[in-house]
Amino acid sequence: MNAITIDHLRKTYGAFVALDDLTLAIPQGSVFGLLGPNGAGKTTTFKCMLGLVRPDGGTTRFADQTFSPAVLDRIAYVPERSVLYEGMTVAEHIEMQRRAYSKFDADRARELVKGFGIPDLRRKTGKLSKGMRTAVAVALAFSRSAEVLVLDEPTSGLDPVNQRTVLNLIVNEAASGNTVVFSSHQVGHVERAAERIAIMKDGRIALEGMVDDLKADRKIVEGIMPDDSATVAALNGNPHVRRVERNGRILRAFASGDAGAIAEALSAGGAAGVRIVDLDLEDIFFDAVAPASSTADLVEA
Amino acid sequence: MAYFEFLRVRNVLKNLAIVLVVMFLLAGALRLLHASGSIVVGDDSGNVRGSGSTQVTRIHLATGDTQTTVDDAKKHVHAVFVTPKDHPGTMTLNSASAGVDVALFFGAATIVALVIASILAAVFSSQNRNHLEIAFMWPVTRERTALSAIGIDVAGILASLLMGTVAALAIASLFVHVSLLWLPTSAATVVLAIVAPVAWYALLLAASSSLRSFGAVAGIGWAAGLLLPGFAQIPVQNPTSTMALVVATLRVLAHFDPLAYLRFSSETPHGGIAGSPELALAFLVPLAIIYLAAAVLQWRRVEA
């Protein structure tokens, strides 16, 4: 069962297309990482999902329910930038959430905030550092007992210790059956916490799948060519070659699927020292968001 | 958001209370200053004469001083002056009581409530600036979120009106013994004093509900709100001139300005654009409702 089903979501701001026919399904009880360069549409996706902005088209369903204000009692959201009331204290924010949400656990919120290194709950949030404000927002969200947590850059501005705390909270939340959707510019964080990812580019999903499957399916085939202008005609038009990069005599073919056949093609094309390299999530990310370079251009150059 | 607004209103009222207490203390100090000396109100007690409904009586006290009592049942005035025997040319106020229309105190407090209304009307624009991700995430409709905040603000405005009335009464009592008068038109004038700040709040709220900044709205609102009723009263010599057209337009626009309906006393014969407080209420109440509805409808469409 999917916790969130996004169906053909579209949002434009004037001529700029922020979301372009976005379709996504996020399984219940999973940690879903949303990656993408700035302006890819991650934050707009979250805001459209939560009704904070009106999409031009498409729908979002939470489990079996279409979006309605009542659904928001089951969803916690941490925005990318701090939206806390600067004139209110941390304790007042906790009290405000307690009054608004039916399952809010004020004791847990206090405990989490203190755990993030903010012992004085009487401090106004306007006096806190950016990282501390993020920590307060995260603590409030994780005290909601929400079935779905939507976290936009939840580690932004946090020190490494608190970043790890947030990642642990995310994993624990999923372990208890709730769903976490989060975005981050730190691919390593997503790789550590998420079991499933989507990479956005220009308002569309460029790549989506289980992290392990994506890693298993994608390899780099690397070979040293006889000179820095040598080409391998066999790579041209190969459906398993996503992209080719050249760095001097080193030719790197980004393979999806049969990497062995590509390695053989490189060897046959005169490449020496051909090897197949596993990709980490960062390589997969860069591969997905890289400008669509023409394999043919490189190979035939 | 309701809790946030509750805290904001509480802080605003707390600050208002401090200002009013300071004003009362300053007035008290002024009263003490005058009490230590003599307030010379006349140069010759013999010149005080009764006329119309005013009656003047003089008696010679055992100390040799002369006591002059002025009574006016119609104007609800009672004043006692003393002319010391060793300063026969002076006349000092010994005690005074005055009947004051209760609406006058409410009218004075309306100014306080208008200022508080102007502060509280920033509620939506302040949310628009940076907090919509909180305000729009409450598990209730946006209309309900908006109405709960408006309800708290209106309660705050009414509380400020009450505080202003009490302060005005307290300050006046320092100087004269006030007898509150309830005139036939007092009820409507008091209701007008309550409705006018709410309508003013509603106007500013409607004008700013889809904006992120409030300062310009408040500034322009106050300037236009105060000037419009004045400009609308400019006498026009030539009814076919361009000036006549401008003034006629301003007169129409003034009907949408809650400040144009203000009256500060039941006895003011032509206070406010509507002429009578009853007519002013007939305009103001629907105006306030329309402005509030416009504010809510606009705000619910704002995007985070």
Over the stretch A206-237, which tens digit does the pLDDT of each residue have?
A: 999 999 999 988 899 999 998 887 777 778 88
The answer to whether position A209 is within a domain reads no
Confidence class for position A296, pLDDT limits 50, 70, 90: very low
CB contact under 8 Å between B133 and A53, yes or no, is no
Whether A133 has a pLDDT exceeding 90, the answer reads yes
The answer to whether position B246 is within a domain reads yes
Tally of domains in chain A: 2
Nearest-5° angle of CA A154, CA A167, CA A3?
A: 75
For residues A108-131, average pLDDT = 96
Looking at residue B47, its pLDDT comes to 63
CB contact under 8 Å between A69 and B303, yes or no, is no
Q: CA nearest B119: which of B260, B256, B235, B214?
A: B214
Looking at residue B188, its pLDDT comes to 87
Residue B75 sits in the same domain as residue B145: no
The answer to whether position B36 is within a domain reads no
The answer to whether position B199 is within a domain reads yes
Residue B83 sits in the same domain as residue B111: no
Using CB atoms, pick whichever of A47, A71, A83 lies closest to residue B134.
A83
Q: Note the residue count of chain B.
A: 304
Tally of domains in chain B: 2
Residue B155 sits in the same domain as residue B222: yes
Contact B125, B208 (CB under 8 A): yes
The amino acid at residue A290 is: A
CB contact under 8 Å between A100 and B303, yes or no, is no
Residue A41 sits in the same domain as residue A180: yes
CB contacts, 8 Å: A75 with chain B: 137
Residue B105 sits in the same domain as residue B229: yes
Residue A40 sits in the same domain as residue A91: yes
The answer to whether position A252 is within a domain reads yes
Residue B150 sits in the same domain as residue B269: yes
Looking at residue B255, its pLDDT comes to 92
- Say which range, A49-63, A156-170, B61-75, B202-216, has the weakest mean pLDDT: B61-75
CB contact under 8 Å between B134 and A85, yes or no, is yes
CB contacts, 8 Å: B11 with chain A: 87
Q: What is the CATH number of the domain that holds A295?
A: 3.30.70
Domain boundary among A202, A232, A247: A202
B83 pairs with which residues across the strands?
B66
Residue B240 sits in the same domain as residue B293: yes
Test mutation, A52, A68, A72, A101, chain B, max B CBs within 10 A:
A52
CB contacts, 8 Å: B149 with chain A: none
Ramachandran region, residue B275 (left: φ > 0; alpha: ψ -120 to 50; beta: rest) = left
Residue B154 sits in the same domain as residue B77: no
Looking at residue B97, its pLDDT comes to 74
Which residue is closest to A78 within chain B, CA to CA? Answer: B133
Test mutation, B8, B9, B133, B140, chain A, max A CBs within 10 A:
B133
Q: What is the CATH number of the domain that holds A154?
A: 3.40.50.300
The answer to whether position A128 is within a domain reads yes
Structure token digits, residue A39? 């302006």
Using CB atoms, pick whichever of B4, B134, B303 lies closest to residue A53.
B303
CB contact under 8 Å between B139 and A47, yes or no, is no
Looking at residue A301, its pLDDT comes to 35
Residue B163 sits in the same domain as residue B244: yes
How many interchain CB pairs under 8 A, A with B?
A: 55
Confidence class for position A300, pLDDT limits 50, 70, 90: very low
Test mutation, B10, B134, B141, chain A, max A CBs within 10 A:
B134
Residue A179 sits in the same domain as residue A238: no
Would you tell me how many other CB atoms lie within 10 Å of the CB of residue A127? 12
Residue A165 sits in the same domain as residue A109: yes
Residue A33 sits in the same domain as residue A119: yes
Confidence class for position A190, pLDDT limits 50, 70, 90: very high
For residues A176-186, average pLDDT = 95
Residue B106 sits in the same domain as residue B206: yes
Residue B20 sits in the same domain as residue B66: no
Distance of CA B192 to the CA centre of its chain: 10
**Cα separation of A190 and A2, whole Å?**
20
Residue B65 sits in the same domain as residue B166: no
B194 pairs with which residues across the strands?
none
Would you tell me how many other CB atoms lie within 10 Å of the CB of residue B74? 9
Which residue is closest to A100 within chain B, CA to CA? Answer: B138
The answer to whether position B137 is within a domain reads yes
Residue A61 sits in the same domain as residue A144: yes
Whether A16 has a pLDDT exceeding 90, the answer reads yes
Residue B186 sits in the same domain as residue B209: yes
CB contact under 8 Å between B4 and A77, yes or no, is no
Residue burial B272-290, b: 16+ Cβ < 10 Å; e: rest:
bbbebbeebbebbeebbee
Greater model confidence, B181 or A73: A73
CB contact under 8 Å between A88 and B7, yes or no, is yes
Residue A175 sits in the same domain as residue A232: no
- Say which range, A40-49, A62-71, B77-86, has the weakest mean pLDDT: B77-86
The answer to whether position A208 is within a domain reads no
- The residue range of the domain holding A120 is 2-202
The answer to whether position B95 is within a domain reads no
Residue A37 sits in the same domain as residue A178: yes
Greater model confidence, A83 or B268: A83
Test mutation, A50, A96, A103, A125, chain B, max B CBs within 10 A:
A96
- The residue range of the domain holding B71 is 44-89
Whether A24 has a pLDDT exceeding 60, the answer reads yes
**Cα separation of A22 and A33, whole Å?**
15
Distance of CA B172 to the CA centre of its chain: 15
Looking at CA atoms only, how far is residue A160 from chain B in angstroms? 26
Contact A276, A265 (CB under 8 A): no
The answer to whether position B11 is within a domain reads yes
Q: Does B173 touch chain A (CB under 8 A)?
A: no
Element counts in chain A: helices (H) and strands (E): 10, 14
Contact A203, A55 (CB under 8 A): no
Most confident option among A135-149, A287-301, B173-187, B271-285: A135-149
Looking at CA atoms only, how far is residue B2 from chain A in angstroms? 8
Percentage of chain A with pLDDT > 70? 97
ipTM of the complex: 0.85
Q: Does B131 touch chain A (CB under 8 A)?
A: yes
Contact B133, A81 (CB under 8 A): no
Residue A195 sits in the same domain as residue A226: no
Using CB atoms, pick whichever of B2, B138, B303 lies closest to residue A54.
B303
Parts of chain B with a pLDDT under 50: 37-38, 45
